[in-house]
Each structure stands twice: as structure tokens, then as C-alpha cells.
Structure 1
Amino acid sequence: MTQRRARSKEAIQQRYNDILIRTRKLFLKKDYSDITLASIAKDLNISRPSLYNYFTSKEELFLALLKQEYLICNKTLKKIFTGKLPTETFCQELIQVFYQQPLFIKLLSLHTIALEDKCGYDVMSQFKEDTLPFFKTQFHIIRQQFPEATEENCWIFLQRLTTLSQTFYQYANIPKDQIEIMAKLKTFGSAPLLSPEDYFARILVDFASHLE
């Protein structure tokens, strides 16, 4: 099959979107290490040099994908959190927002420092600027939920949530055989392994106790 080049602005934007869509589908099925720019180019029937016109590295491509997920989540947060809720409900719904985006939590599990090292300062700086609205929205809903809390403590809550979010994917994907072994050995006593949503919501409720 003959390889084709994108020429018009519309075609260039469509090619850009096609690359992200295909990478999205691949990452939901495969591990990060199993995906290469070469495999994506082959799947889209374009040359690797053509792909490099859009993304100079795999890390840059995944940052673009992560940026999309941040912005999608930002819209969801604005839609759901319009007023103060009972603390437990607030924490549960906040965790559920993340788990409604399986690609997002998988992307968040990637080692951020590794991406930064490969992409360089300018790319990472632009990425952080582009995703800043997501963090501002989170801070707004935290302040809305805990109006009596100090601004500093609200930022600390957000910092903890951000760190916690990097483990959402791993906890939700503990291999079944490992769960069975831990249950047999009673690694955590007789307590059952909580669902990811319940487990992290309880942690947030504990964090929130410092804000009320």
C-alpha cells in the first residue's frame, strides 16, 4: 500500500489526531515499553520520518496523550462538583472521576521524571502550562468543599491527591494470582482487599480530616 503524506492544514490536523487515537487504543491494550513510534507509523501506513514531523519521541507523543486526558478530566470535574457535598461523598466522587478514565490513570502511572528527561525543558514547560487549568480546577473544588480550611492546607491536600493518583492504576491491576497468595497468607489479616475506589476514597477522607 502506498504511503501518503498529509499536505493541507486539515490533513495535518487529522493525521495528528489519527496518531493520538491509534496510540490511545494501543496503550489500553499494551504496556508502554511495548509501543514504539515505528509500530505506530506502520499501523497508520506512514513513514517514521513523517511521524517525527508530529512527535520527535515516544515520550513527547505520550505527553500529548496525557494532556488530552487532563483536559477531559478537567471538564468532568467542573461539571460534577458544583457545590459542597458530605465529605465521604466528595472523596468517593473525586476518586470515581479518575477511574472513569482508564487511559488517564494508566498514563499517570508512567514515570514522570523519565518523560521529562527525554522531552526536555521547553516541551515539559509547555505541557505543565497547558495542563495547569486541571490543577486550578481541583484547587477550586477543594476550597469549595472545605471553605474553613486554610489555602495552604488545601494545596497540601491537592499535592497528596496528585501523588496518590500515580498509584491508581497499579492498585487496580494487581494480578489475580498475587491477590490469591496474599489472601492465603493473610498478608493483611482477615480484611478483604478493598476495591480501588473504596480504598483511595478512604485515604482521601483521612486527608480531609485535616481540613475540617
Structure 2
Amino acid sequence: MAKVSREVVEGRPDEIMDACVRLHETMSFRDINLKEISCETSISRPSIYNYFRTKEEIFLGVLEREYRRWNDDLQGILTGHQKMTGDEFAADLAESLRERKLLLEIQSTDLYDIEENSRQESLNDFKEVFMQTMTSMEKLLEKFFPEKSKDERSDFVYQFFPFLYGVYPYVYHTEKQERAMDSVGMKVRKTTIEEMVRMCVLQLLK
């Protein structure tokens, strides 16, 4: 049997998560299973269990990876500016989330099932990264808006992060949802992730 390099072994979690992301582009969360994921990788289904115990745990890994990437973007905003106006901050924050569509989609539609069906240690790892992202947001507010009190910064964070759970459903509607809204005469305002985030940030900064 050919020896598998350490690099290949260490890259397998990302390979599995990448396969899951590709499937998610054309399949619903509920239709994806470990067999489908295995067929998208060079890894056998039994071997996947060495890294992830459930489909939900793979999605949790994807979400954790997305939060790490977003946190890197937030750190870039923090170190890349000495000062920012409210408009500039809102625009940069909105831009940072434009690239995190997958993050917004997963956490708005399937997060409860994902967390409930993942091992405790995996959930702990995710929550640690989530907390780091919240801390980064607090540091941004402290640097660029020093006039705000600690309580005001905390209020911003604890209003902004729950708001993110509703961004994806408001921006992206299924055909079925649009038919239902049309049938009751509900006007649908076309918007984008950037527009929603920018407007929310400006309101919270007031």
C-alpha cells in the first residue's frame, strides 16, 4: 500500500469540506449525505469518519472556516486604517461580508441542526472562533469610535450578529417564496448583502 504523505493527510479535512461546499451549490442541506461527499473526494466513506462523525459536523467545519476568513478580513480593516468615519466603516464591513455569502446562507438555514448533531468538542471549537470574531468587532469599534462607551460597543455587537442570521433569507428568495409573496400582493424590495449590512451598521452607530 502506498504511503500517504503528511501533507495529504493534513489536507483531508479541507478536501472533505470543499466537496461539501461544491455539493451545496446544487443540492439542499438535507439531500447531502456522507456517501455523496465521499464520491466528490479521494477519501473513502469510512475514512471520512476519522475527521468528521456526521454531515452536520462537516458543515460546522465549513462555517468555522468561513468565520476564520471573515475574522482575517476584520483584522485587515483594523490594521489597515488609522481612522474611519461611520460611512467608511459601514462600507468596509459590508464589503467584508459580500464574500461571506456561504457563511450567511449556512447559519441562516441549517445552524440549529448542524450544532445539535455535532460532537461537543467540534461545537466548542466553532464557538471559540465565533467569539474571536465578536472580539474583533469590539476592537474595531473601540479603535474607530472611541467616543462610544463599553456598553454601547457591547450593544452594537449583540444586535449586529443576530441581524446577520436574517440577511441571506431577505436577499435571496426561492421561486416558491416569490410566488407566495406575489399571490398576497407583497412587494419584494430587491437588495444586496452589502446594502443590508451597510444600512444596519449605520443605524447601530447612531
Question: Do the structures match in fold with TM over 0.5?
Answer: yes
Query: How far apart, CA to CA, are the structure 1 residues paired with 2:29 and 2:3?
Result: 27
The aligned runs of 1:40-189 (5 Å cut-off) are: 40-81=37-78, 82-175=81-174, 187-188=186-187
In 2, Cα distance between the equivalents of 1:57 and 1:181?
34
Residues 46 and 164 of structure 1: CA distance in aligned 2, closer, same or farther (over 3 Å): same
TM-score, normalised to structure 2, is: 0.84
Within 2, Cα distance between the matches of 1:139 and 1:192? 31
Q: CA deviation at 1:47?
A: 2.6
Distance 1:6 1:31 in 2: 36
1:48-85 deviation digits (Å, cap 9, x = unpaired): 21111111011111111111111111111121342332
Q: State yes or no: 1:199 paired with 2:167.
A: no
Q: In 1, are the aligned partners of 2:29 and 2:110 still within 8 Å (CA)?
A: no
- Superposition deviation, residue 196 in structure 1: 3.5
What is the rounded CA distance, in whole Å, between the counterparts of 2:58 and 2:45 in structure 1? 13
- Going from structure 1 to structure 2, the CA distance change for 1:6 and 1:73 (only over 3 Å counts) comes to farther
1:22 alignment counterpart = 19
Letter matched to residue 169 of structure 1:
Y
Alpha-carbon separation, structure 2, partners of 1:96 and 1:184? 34
Amino acid at match of 1:49: P
Residues 78, 46 of structure 1: alpha-carbon distance in 2 compared, 3 angstrom cutoff: closer
How many residue pairs match? The answer is: 204
Shift of 1:141: 0.6
CA distance in 1, matches of 2:4, 2:180: 56
CA distance in 2, matches of 1:71, 1:87: 24
* Aligned-partner Cα distance in 2 for 1:56–1:184: 43
1:19-68 deviation line (CA, Å, top 9, x unaligned): 12222222233321121111011222433211111110111111111111
User: TM-score if structure 1 supplies the norm length?
Assistant: 0.81
Q: Distance in 1 between matches of 2:27 and 2:154?
A: 35
**Which segments of 5 or more consecutive residues in structure 1 lack a partner in the other structure?**
none
**C-alpha RMSD over aligned residues:** 2.7
Letter in 1 for 2:93: L
Distance 2:138 2:127 in 1: 16
The 3 A distance-change label for structure 1 pair 111 and 9 is same
Could you tell me how far apart the structure 2 residues matched to 1:93 and 1:187 are?
32
Q: How much has 1:153 moved relative to structure 2?
A: 1.8
Percent identical pairs in the alignment equals 23
Q: Do 2:97 and 2:194's aligned partners in 1 also have CA atoms closer than 8 Å? A: no
Contact 2:34–2:45, Cα closer than 8 Å, also in 1: yes
AA aligned opposite 1:11: V
Are residue 34 (structure 1) and residue 31 (structure 2) matched? Answer: yes
Q: CA deviation at 1:177?
A: 7.2
Preserved CA contact (<8 Å) 1:6 1:15: no
